[in-house]
Structure 1
Amino acid sequence: MSFLSSGVAVVTGAGSGMGRALAEQLAAAGSALALADVDEASLLETAQILGKTGALVTTHVVDVAKEERVKAFAADARERHGRLTLLINNAGVALHGDFEEISLDDFRWLMDINFWGAVYGVRYFLPLLKHAPRAHIVNLSSVFGLIAPAGQTAYAASKFAVRGFSEALRHELEGSHVKVSCVHPGGIRTSIARRARLGERTPAVRQEQSVAQFEQWARTSPEAAAARILRGVEQGEARILIGVDAYQIDVLQRLRPASYWKLLKKKLEKVVAAAAKEPGKPSTARKP
């Protein structure tokens, strides 16, 4: 992987999940890394893991929802690494609750991280990327940037926004040496559902229900997802789908853009029913 092995990569949300897997695989490829996360303990744990690879790694405690903090992160990364070839805006959060159960503050909190975090990252790292002979921006959307299930108004809004931002940015940078990829993962086995915020008026039991549904659906490992992203970067793919479920959903929404939810709702009901029959795993999940 020549591009990755000779580069310097920024990865946000590097303390766990796909962010940590991306950091490990980039370090193994020979890339230098500027890693960011809001959770300092998890971030340092990732750095400790990478210490065995011999890669140059710097850590930065950053809340990507804060513009000034991202701006300072970019300046710090530039001072410590001197250059940048790859930006991966991976940091993201989730929120439990239907639209009428979440507050506008809940909605803003999620948008500030999932959408504005990516925008701030591009704003302050793009000038540095433009100095490289070859550079790449990776923005994490979701399959919920392709479809919008019930109970995901805020999350889907943020991921559709990331998709639109990424596609327009890619068109603006066409012909330059800075490429843009938008990533649409399906179900990835990370802790995002367990760490999700409970909406202001969302019943507490809803978190348990949502986590049970997510864990039945999530089949792809963070390591496999990271490998797919980096392969897409090497090949210059504009759109990176991860998991069989992501490909199936992509086809479904193209064929039935106004009615895909009817089919997905039935499938989800079957998944929940199957989970309820598993020994020792009673499902508390409600129908969507």
Structure 2
Amino acid sequence: MKNFQDKVAVITGAGAGIGRALALELARNGARLALSGRDLTNVSETAALCEKEGATARAFRLDVTDRAAFYAHAEEVRAAFGPANLLVNNAGVSLTATVEELTWEDFEWIVNINFWGVMHGTKAFLPQVIASGDGHIANVSSMFGLAACPSQGAYNATKFGIRGFTDALRQEMRIAGHPVGVSSVHPGMVKTEIAWKARAGGERDRDALAANFDRLAKTTAEDAAKIILRGIRKDKAKILVGADARVIDLLPRLFGSGYQRIITAQMKNEVN
């Protein structure tokens, strides 16, 4: 997909953060936008901003954990716009907790949104993306889909899962000869509200964790969107967003499983 002019772009989690920034950047590039999220008010605000850029945009309420709702959404999009060209499975949440601290309710919450949301979206829209004749699917993983980190076990599980699923899908599209590019997207710390909406296990102070995230995050959502769309244009298998993501990507490639000692030592220093 070399350009987005007149392409039908579907974005989940479009009410804020990277999702909203992607919608606006695509609007400026001539795409027609089907935007979704659990909070229709926020998604409608995104759609209105896109319309100010001259784009056709429609807001949908969608719970990505609801498989039937996702299939119904795919039909809504087809009826309103025609076959989708671009799907960005962006909706996601964060959870900080050790495996010992994890509750089953928290684990199921993050898996249902982060992992099953991507599975539902891909399966629901894949036939349209193939039929479009010029398609792309971008699934948002994380830098923690490249290397594991203490207190991120559940988050790691979902983001590693997305990466493996997406890599397999990319190979399948090539073997089948379908006109569909596929990318896994690995943001580092991006200045969004995700940390403030996260859950924290045990006695952890969620607000303190979020404030520390904000302090460390250097990449803006706007810059992240530009990087992601540039990667889609180039049909990159792996799109790294931010200097921190590039560093995390290097660690296991340079040190193999030894990267764990480096991260463990760093985490111990932060605790002490």
TM-score w.r.t. length of structure 2: 0.94
Equivalent-residue separation in structure 1 for 2:186 and 2:102 (angstroms): 25
How far off its partner does 1:256 sit? Answer: 1.8
Cross-structure match for 1:39: 39
RMSD of the alignment, in Å?
1.6
Equivalent-residue separation in structure 1 for 2:208 and 2:151 (angstroms): 12
Question: What are structure 2's unaligned runs of at least 5 residues?
Answer: none
Cross-structure match for 2:19: 19
Cross-structure match for 1:133: 133
How far off its partner does 1:265 sit? Answer: 4.2
- 2:193 alignment partner, SS class: coil
Q: What pairs with 1:106-121 in structure 2 (closer than 5 Å)?
A: 106-121=106-121
Query: Larger deviation: 1-10 or 111-120?
Result: 1-10
| Contact 2:142–2:187, Cα closer than 8 Å, also in 1 | yes
| Contact 1:118–1:139, Cα closer than 8 Å, also in 2 | yes
Q: State percent identity of aligned pairs.
A: 42
Q: What pairs with 1:131-210 in structure 2 (closer than 5 Å)?
A: 131-174=131-174, 175-199=177-201, 202-203=202-203, 205-210=204-209
Cross-structure match for 2:122: 122
- 1:237 alignment partner, SS class: coil
Q: What pairs with 1:272-283 in structure 2 (closer than 5 Å)?
A: none
Question: What are structure 1's unaligned runs of at least 5 residues?
Answer: 273-285
| Contact 1:97–1:206, Cα closer than 8 Å, also in 2 | no
* 1:217 equivalent in alignment to 2:216: yes
**Structure 2: which amino acid aligns with 1:111?**
V
Equivalent-residue separation in structure 2 for 1:176 and 1:81 (angstroms): 21
Cross-structure match for 2:260: 261
1:157-192 superposed Cα distances (whole Å, 9 cap, x missing partner): 000000000001111111320110001111111111
Cross-structure match for 2:52: 52
Equivalent-residue separation in structure 2 for 1:79 and 1:66 (angstroms): 20
Cross-structure match for 1:281: none
Change (3 A) 1:131 1:62: same
**Structure 2: which amino acid aligns with 1:100?**
E
Q: What pairs with 1:236-251 in structure 2 (closer than 5 Å)?
A: 236-251=235-250
| Contact 1:10–1:87, Cα closer than 8 Å, also in 2 | yes
Query: Larger deviation: 4-13 or 213-222?
Result: 213-222
Equivalent-residue separation in structure 1 for 2:154 and 2:122 (angstroms): 22
**Structure 1: which amino acid aligns with 2:123?**
R
Equivalent-residue separation in structure 2 for 1:213 and 1:158 (angstroms): 23
- 1:71 alignment partner, SS class: helix
**Structure 2: which amino acid aligns with 1:109?**
W
1:222-272 superposed Cα distances (whole Å, 9 cap, x missing partner): 1001000000111111111111111111111112232323323444566x5
**Structure 2: which amino acid aligns with 1:176?**
H
Equivalent-residue separation in structure 2 for 1:14 and 1:136 (angstroms): 18
| Contact 2:2–2:234, Cα closer than 8 Å, also in 1 | no
Cross-structure match for 1:276: none
| Contact 1:189–1:222, Cα closer than 8 Å, also in 2 | yes
Q: Greater Rg, structure 1 or structure 2?
A: 1
Equivalent-residue separation in structure 1 for 2:194 and 2:60 (angstroms): 21
Query: Larger deviation: 99-108 or 135-144?
Result: 99-108
**Structure 2: which amino acid aligns with 1:225?**
A
- 2:178 alignment partner, SS class: coil
Query: Alignment length, in residue pairs?
Result: 270
Query: Larger deviation: 166-175 or 207-216?
Result: 207-216
1:73-114 superposed Cα distances (whole Å, 9 cap, x missing partner): 101011111121100000000113211212112111101110
**Structure 1: which amino acid aligns with 2:117?**
G
**Structure 1: which amino acid aligns with 2:42?**
S
